[in-house]
Amino acid sequence: MSETLTADKYGMQEALKALGLKEINEGTSTGSNNFGGGEIISSYSPTDGALIGKVTTTTKEDYEKVMDAATTAFKSFRAMPAPQRGEIVRQFGNKLRELKEPLGKLVSYEMGKSLQEGYGEVQEMIDICDFAVGLSRQLNGQTIPSERPGHVMREQWHSIGVVGIISAFNFPVAVWAWNTALAWICGDVCVWKGSEKAPMCSVACQNIIADILKENNLPEGISCIINGDYKVGEYMTTDERIPLVSATGSTRMGRIVGATVAQRFGKSLLELGGNNAIIITPTADLKVVVPGAVFGAVGTCGQRCTSTRRLIIHESVYDKVKDAIVGAYGQLTIGNPLDEKNHIGPLIDQDAVNTYLAAIEKAKAEGGNVLVDGGVLQGEGYESGCYVKPAIIEAENSYEIVQSETFAPILYLMKYSGDVENAIDTQNGVAQGLSSAIMTNEMKEAEKFLSFAGSDCGIANVNIGTSGAEIGGAFGGEKETGGGRESGSDAWKVYMRRQTNTVNYSDELPLAQGIKFDL
């Protein structure tokens, strides 16, 4: 590793070594199937500004080698019985259990989220592997009654092919696993472009699965990585050999990916921006409201797609809730995310810091009232320049800045009056539709929130916050969030192609709908 790596107070050198990253140096290959021969990407930790390592970007020639490996591997992998593919995923999940500590540390150090969140992200990988292993014996079709005598109709599912995965920096390993674990048990192979802001994480994951594939005498093309910015991602979005592209990121990115893939009649799984709100009603329990709202707003330094951006509070309890939230912010500690006493780590880079500062100024210019000042932290421990203070601003839902997603710890407070329907209208009154929550002890309010006329988001929670989700449920949202679903429930179906079969086991050929065609 680079000599500029920070003093090894938190065991990072040992963690990197355990993940097979000790040999990364400029100009070298980094992980199985990374044929990068392009420019160098240097990964600097937002935690302390130190250089973690370097990878080479993927050229078009490199990409063609990756695709040759992937398409060749698919021909044999799809023929493997699904439970045997599940066994590979089981081994991967067990290896993640062994490496949870070093991989969690790398996620924390390279991305900047707290160590507990880093461990939690790896646990999500383990959980989706467990889910996928069970699912590998349940990729069921169905039998459909036929209107014709002596006929049977069946529906079955087949592997779709090469799945392209584009993931974002904020969950540099979990989102890949959500897609990959399901794709693998479905018989697909994967080409992954991780975020160029956290490339060491994707290399580490590739090292782990490459070892497992080798131990099982399986082709390495089952799992491939490519490195680079959006230009490398375009290799996949325009490639007709990739029938499905799963992309996680901004709404702006999703518009481009969705249109490009649709133009060649491919499929997209889009998980894009969120502008998530918690409705707080008069009967809400503050013991539930405060931790749910605060963690939702400041966890991962506000860099989750499910982060809480807006609190919509009934006027009768507004001052009480406001005082409680502001008081809780005064207890937050900001610093090195590898130190578990800190609640909040840094933003990912200087661009994110600039976006954060601009959003606060925009909110002020539109009439927002600052309750908790933001700003960039300086001094010892904050040398990277990426540490910022979580801000709270009273605002109106109609503000332009409130209508957009800012990937930073800025929380907007607003009042509602009258019935809960008014709060639901405010919550739904943004372009995004990912996660939502209501805090109430009134059953009627909760059920209205969950009804067809309630929250228009893909996730709607009662008495828990907006941030985070369990593996068993399908994850994703509506409107400008993209409409895609990842992880649990029947999300596996997007990684397969549906086929309807009709079998005639009679001695006649009756036509559908009673049509007569005599010769």
Tell me the DSSP string of 455-514. --SSEEEESS-SS---TTSEE--EETT-S--EESTTGGGGGEEEEEEEEE-SSS-PPGGG
Residue whose entry in the numeric block shows the structure tokens 């998530």:
276
**Terminal Cα-to-Cα distance of the chain (whole angstroms):** 78
Q: Give me the catalytic one of 190, 224, 305, 386.
A: 305
Residue 231: which of 33, 39, 42, 484 has the closest Cα?
39
- Separation of alpha carbons 166 and 384, rounded Å: 27
- Separation of alpha carbons 480 and 415, rounded Å: 25
Q: Give me the catalytic one of 117, 271, 405, 486.
A: 271
HEC readout, 250-269:
CHHHHHHHHHHHHHCCCEEE
- Separation of alpha carbons 44 and 198, rounded Å: 9
Question: Using the 8-state DSSP alphabet, how is residue 57 labeled?
Answer: P
At a CB cut-off of 8 Å and minimum separation 6, what does 277 contact? 308, 309, 310, 311, 312, 426, 427, 430, 436, 437, 466
Residue 121: which of 171, 195, 47 has the closest Cα?
171
User: Measuring CA to CA, how many Å separate 394 from each of 367, 410, 413, 427, 454?
Assistant: 9, 11, 5, 15, 24
φ, ψ for residue 400 (rounded to 5)?
Answer: -60, -40
Residue 408: which of 425, 384, 388 has the closest Cα?
388
φ, ψ for residue 213 (rounded to 5)?
Answer: -60, -40
Burial class (CB within 10 angstroms; exposed 0-12, middle 13-18, buried 19+) of 94: middle
- Separation of alpha carbons 48 and 39, rounded Å: 24
305 is catalytic: yes
Single-letter code of the amino acid located at 477: G
271 is catalytic: yes
The helix or strand, by DSSP H or E, that contains position 166, with its residue range, turns out to be: strand 162-166
- Separation of alpha carbons 77 and 23, rounded Å: 31
Structure tokens at 241: 């050999």
Residue whose entry in the numeric block shows the structure tokens 């405010």:
426
Alpha-carbon Rg for the chain in angstroms: 25
Beta strand pairing call for 244-248 and 223-226: unpaired
* Catalytic positions, written as ranges: 271, 305
